[in-house]
């Protein structure tokens, strides 16, 4: 469930499921590290939902609530929200901190690391 309460294309992931869903996952994976108290996260949420729906056939999207999963955020060096981390084959291939909340720049930021 997203910040506004609607169902979405971004799946929640926690410490207990991160390894099996993200690190052992196949294909391009985007992880949104966010906080429900973060105003920038709330602003970005409808845009990332839209982009995730558009890219769902190419990329898998997950969300980490840093308020509940602080150790996981620390492990990946997340110091601010929102932070989007792109993974492929269990390795980080890209990162965007506080992306601009417009669909075109977000789509570019989320797809470019996988084109390398």
Query: Over the stretch 88-105, which tens digit does the pLDDT of each residue have?
Result: 999 999 999 988 878 998
- Burial per residue of 92-107, b for 16 or more beta-carbon CB atoms within 10 angstroms, e otherwise: ebbbbeebebeeeebe
**CA gap 78, 8 in Å, rounded:** 23
Q: What pLDDT, in 10s, does the model give residues 80-90?
A: 999 999 999 99
Q: Are 64 and 8 in contact (CB under 8 A)?
A: no
Domains (range + CATH), the chain: 10-115 (3.40.30.10)
Query: pTM for the complete prediction?
Result: 0.90
């Amino acid at each position: 469930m997203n910040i506004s309460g609607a169902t979405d294309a971004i799946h929640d992931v926690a410490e207990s499921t991160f390894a099996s869903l993200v690190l052992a996952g196949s294909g391009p994976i985007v992880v949104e590290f966010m906080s429900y108290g973060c105003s920038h996260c709330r602003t970005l949420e409808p845009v990332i939902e839209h982009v995730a729906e558009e890219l769902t056939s190419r990329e898998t999207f997950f969300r980490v609530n840093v308020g509940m999963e602080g150790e996981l955020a620390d492990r990946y060096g997340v110091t601010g929200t929102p932070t989007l981390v792109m993974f492929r084959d269990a390795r980080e291939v890209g990162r965007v901190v506080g992306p601009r909340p417009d669909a075109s720049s977000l789509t570019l930021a989320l797809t470019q690391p996988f084109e390398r």
